[in-house]
Structure formats: structure tokens, C-alpha cells
């Protein structure tokens, strides 16, 4: 068996870069598609095999050490693999590969999740090449059976071992294991069967989604090589902050300011909810921290039917500027209600902590 260094025309101390350059030069000269002569074909096989060995630093080191048993040479495990594993081939591999999954973040307003929303999402992704429809070849042309491996996708190599020369099967370097070559690749996709492009994907996002939820859209991810099946597009939901309302499960939480007279006497009012006007009733004697619950005005449930509630925490507002008459009336009110002077009471949690806990019940 000829020396691999002589086959590539390089010295034994040549760098890996020099070996690669020598192989590329010889491959351009001897490739069967360029030089169909039988002699060139045989030399191309030898050149490719020599590069398979010397092009990898580890296999080159083993080749330089020769067929010895030890830390750096062929061991019995290597020989076993060459005899019982390396000689078998599963046939050519397919150019058609499944596409990758994609992840897209979708920002929503809180109002969007109350009833759900339709979005036309624009994504940059890999789509099927319309010129070749995934065939990878230029229109009017096709793939050709590899003349190096005869369409098997693998070639047999002789490797020196402790037991002498053994035959192994390796992917064909001429066709990269596909068994076919593409003499005229598609000019649009350069032989990949897919191109990068912007797509618009219409999506109906259901009501009740929340930040962190991922929605799967099978078949909406990237198209694979050679028009392979598309992967899955994952939509990760992010709900933007709302200035008035927050969310607790399926309930909406808010705060309503009530004047001291209205809190004492009771009142009715209409406030603007997240999806329209809401009628609110303040009962007489309402205190700061009390909760006004408006049923079925929260978020539509993601799984199930109906909506959550709208819960409004009451904050009684004390007037800061009083005219003389108002001050007189309040003094009279204090006397009539026999309101006690400020005093220490049994410890209770803070007003706003109390309101927060009540809202989340």
C-alpha cells in the first residue's frame, strides 16, 4: 500500500494546512466530474483515502506510529470495530432533513387576554425554495449517481492494523455520503432546497393566556434541508404591565378611591373597566381595605368556561383642604359620632398589605 504522504505529494512534516491545500488541488484535478478517465478515478480514490487519514490530526498520529499495540496505536477494540462494525454500511443518507424548531416572543396587552386576540405574526425563517421546490437542483436538471461510490454513499478503505490490512467502510468524500451529486445546483437556494425569507403566520391566541406560557404550532418552524418537514414554532407569551389593573389567576385587581362622605353614607358610581363601564356600589360604612367584587368581569378562563371576577380594593380619601363650613361640619360629626381620639390599638397588619391579601383571596 502506497505511502499517504507520497500520494498527496507532501513531506512527512507538512502542516495540516499544507495537507488540506494539497488535497484540494488534487481533487480539482482528478474528480470524476472533471477528469472521467479510469486512471484519474483510481488516483482520486487514493488521494481521498490519504486525506481521510492525514487530514485528521489524531488519525495522522496513529498512521505515523504504524501498526503497534499501545496507548497510541490500534487496540483490540479498534480491530473489532473494523472487522465487525466498520465494514457495514446503512446505505446513503438522505439529503432531506427535518427542520429546526423556532421560538418567537409575543407581547400582549392585558386587554388582549381577556377575550383572546388574532395576530398576524411576521417571522424570519427558512421556507421551501419555490424555484426547485426542495429538489436542490436547477430547473430541468437532477441529481446524478456518485461515480466514486456507485450510489452507496460509502467507500471501502484499507487500514493497517495489528492483524494486517483490514477493510472498513467510510462515508464517501465525493458525495458526503448522499450517494448522489448535484452537478447543477438550484441558483436560488444554492442546492439546499430552502431559503431564508419572511413569513406571515395568522394566529388566534386564546383568552386566558399569561406570561411564560408557550403555545406550540407544529409545522410552522423552519423547513428542513432539501424541503424536509418543518419544525415546530413555539410562541412564548409576555403580557405587558397595565397602569390600572393587575392579574391574579383569572381575577383582575384594581383600586378605587372613595371620598370619606361616600364611604360613610354609601354611593353608586360607574368606573371604566378593562372591557367597558362597570357599575360599582359602595355600601354605607365602607372602610379602607374593603373589597368590592364585580362578578364575571375578570379574565376569560383558559381552560373551562366563564370569567373570573373584578376585585377593587377601597381606598378612603381624606380631604386635605377644608373651608370653614366644612371644618365646622366635621367637628360636629366627630361630636355626634363620639369618635375616639387617636389611640394605640391591638396590632394588625398594614392597610395595604391587608388590601393585597384580600384581593388575592
Q: Sorting pLDDT into bands at 50, 70 and 90, what band is 223? A: very high
19 C-beta neighbours (distance < 10 Å), count:
22
- Would you say how long the chain is, in residues? 361
Helix (H) or strand (E) holding 169: strand 164-171
Query: What is the longest distance spanned by two Cα atoms in the chain?
Result: 119
Of 55 and 296, more confident: 296
Q: What is the arithmetic mean of pLDDT over 48-77?
A: 66
Cell of residue 351, nine digits: 392597610
As annotated, the residues of the chain forming the CATH 2.60.260.20 domain(s) are 102-128+198-239, 246-359
In terms of Cα–Cα distance, which of 277, 11, 31 is closest to 173?
31
Give the Cα-Cα-Cα angle 50, 53, 55 (nearest 5 degrees). 90
Give the 3-state secondary structure percentages of the chain, helix then strand then coil, rounded to 5: 25, 30, 45
Q: What is the average pLDDT score of the chain?
A: 85
51 C-beta neighbours (distance < 10 Å), count:
21
- Beta pairing partners, 327: none
As annotated, the residues of the chain forming the CATH 1.10.287.110 domain(s) are 4-93+152-176
Give the Cα-Cα-Cα angle 97, 106, 219 (nearest 5 degrees). 25
Burial readout 259-276 (b: 16 or more C-beta within 10 A, e: otherwise): eeebbbeebeeeeebbee
Q: Sorting pLDDT into bands at 50, 70 and 90, what band is 76? A: very low
Looking at domain 246-359, its CATH architecture is Sandwich (2.60)
Phi/psi of residue 258, each to 5°? Answer: -125, 135
Secondary structure of 252-268 in HEC code, one letter for each residue: EEEEEEEEHHHHHHCEE
Counting residues of the chain whose pLDDT is more than 90, the rounded percentage is: 55
Q: Is there a contact between 99 and 229 (Cβ–Cβ < 8 Å)?
A: yes
Q: What is the arithmetic mean of pLDDT over 136-160?
A: 88
What is the reported pTM?
0.66
DSSP-derived letter for residue 183 is S
Cell of residue 261, nine digits: 362622605
The CATH superfamily holding the domain 102-128+198-239 is Urease metallochaperone UreE, N-terminal domain (2.60.260.20)
pLDDT at residue 83 in the model? 45
pLDDT at residue 155 in the model? 87
Looking at domain 4-93+152-176, its CATH architecture is Orthogonal Bundle (1.10)
Of 344 and 334, more confident: 334
* Those residues with Cβ within 8 angstroms of residue 70's Cβ, 6 or more apart along the chain or in another chain: none
Amino acid at each position: 500500500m502506497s505511502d499517504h504522504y507520497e500520494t498527496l505529494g507532501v513531506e512527512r512534516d507538512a502542516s495540516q494546512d499544507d495537507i488540506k491545500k494539497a488535497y484540494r488541488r488534487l481533487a480539482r484535478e482528478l474528480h470524476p466530474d472533471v477528469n472521467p478517465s479510469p486512471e484519474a478515478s483510481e488516483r482520486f480514490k487514493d488521494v481521498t483515502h490519504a486525506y481521510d487519514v492525514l487530514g485528521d490530526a489524531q488519525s495522522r498520529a496513529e498512521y505515523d506510529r504504524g501498526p503497534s499495540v499501545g496507548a497510541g496505536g490500534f487496540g483490540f477494540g479498534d480491530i473489532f470495530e473494523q472487522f465487525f462494525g466498520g465494514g457495514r454500511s446503512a446505505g446513503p443518507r438522505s439529503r432531506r432533513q427535518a427542520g429546526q424548531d423556532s421560538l418567537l416572543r409575543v407581547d400582549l396587552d392585558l386587554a388582549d387576554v381577556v377575550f383572546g386576540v388574532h395576530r398576524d405574526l411576521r417571522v424570519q425563517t427558512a421556507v421551501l425554495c419555490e424555484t426547485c421546490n426542495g429538489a436542490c437542483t436547477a430547473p430541468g436538471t437532477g441529481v446524478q449517481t456518485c461515480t466514486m461510490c456507485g450510489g452507496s454513499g460509502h467507500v471501502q478503505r484499507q487500514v493497517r492494523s495489528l492483524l494486517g490490512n483490514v477493510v472498513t467502510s467510510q462515508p464517501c468524500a465525493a458525495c458526503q455520503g448522499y450517494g448522489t451529486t448535484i452537478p447543477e445546483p438550484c441558483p436560488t437556494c444554492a442546492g439546499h432546497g430552502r431559503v431564508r425569507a419572511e413569513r406571515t403566520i395568522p394566529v388566534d391566541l386564546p383568552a386566558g393566556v399569561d406570561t411564560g406560557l408557550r403555545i406550540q404550532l407544529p409545522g410552522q418552524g423552519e423547513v428542513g434541508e432539501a424541503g424536509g418537514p418543518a419544525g415546530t414554532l413555539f410562541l412564548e407569551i409576555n403580557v405587558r404591565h397595565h397602569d390600572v389593573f393587575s392579574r391574579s389567576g383569572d381575577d383582575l385587581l384594581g383600586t378605587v378611591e372613595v371620598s370619606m362622605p361616600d364611604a360613610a353614607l354609601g354611593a353608586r358610581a360607574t368606573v371604566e373597566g378593562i372591557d367597558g363601564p362597570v357599575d360599582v356600589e359602595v355600601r354605607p360604612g365602607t372602610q379602607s381595605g374593603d373589597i368590592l367584587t364585580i362578578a364575571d368581569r375578570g379574565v376569560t378562563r383558559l381552560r373551562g368556561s366563564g370569567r373570573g371576577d373584578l376585585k377593587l380594593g377601597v381606598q378612603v380619601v381624606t380631604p386635605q383642604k377644608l373651608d370653614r363650613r366644612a371644618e365646622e361640619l366635621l367637628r360636629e360629626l366627630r361630636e355626634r359620632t363620639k369618635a375616639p381620639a387617636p389611640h394605640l390599638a391591638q396590632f394588625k397588619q398594614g392597610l395595604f398589605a391587608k388590601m393585597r391579601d384580600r384581593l388575592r383571596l
